[in-house]
Amino acid sequence: MKSILGFIFIKIKNFADNCIAEKNKSLFFTKKSSIHSSFKIGKNNFLDISPHAEFEIGENVIINQSNYITVKRNAKLIIGNNTYITRATISCLGEIEIGNNCILGEGMKIFDHNHQYTRDPFFVSKTDFNIGKVRMGNNVWTGANVTILKDVTIGDNCILGSGVLVYKDIPSNTIVMAKQDLILKPI
């Protein structure tokens, strides 16, 4: 009896997860969207998507679980064919373009904007932004905890190693590693 109840519970949970995933997927279908029917999205995603956002999502794109995706009014998010994203943060106020055959690793963050500020008197705005673009070529692989900032272009066939902060353009066919020294001191 326990095994039957366990089986029924798993089936109900899977059905509920699929319903949530389909509801989340529908948020990407705005008036300005072009989304391939093979697009898949996992569970436990936080989505802040404007109905006035624009999407171009290619064939066999998977946005796996536990991502934070923000696409604001009149912003554009483009994701090329066969791209896989998991446990990432994508914050799009302008335009972010991700190429074909990309793998975006856990903890990866992309921001196409930063906060505006004044110098005299010093003040950082909570609601006003300098908006730019991020362009990522084809066949880009990001390791864990990569951060990509606004106005950056990453070429084709690049590997961004774990913990890299990308604040300037990266040419095609490049491996980028963070230089970090471990300092060991006896206690």
The answer to whether the CB of 137 falls within 8 A of the CB of 172 is yes
Residue 153 CA to residue 169 CA, distance in Å, equals 5
CA dist 101 → 35, 82, 179 (Å): 16, 5, 27
115 tagged catalytic: yes
In the numeric block, the tokens 């975006």 are attached to 104
Residue 186 CA to residue 180 CA, distance in Å, equals 19
Name the residues annotated as catalytic.
Answer: 115
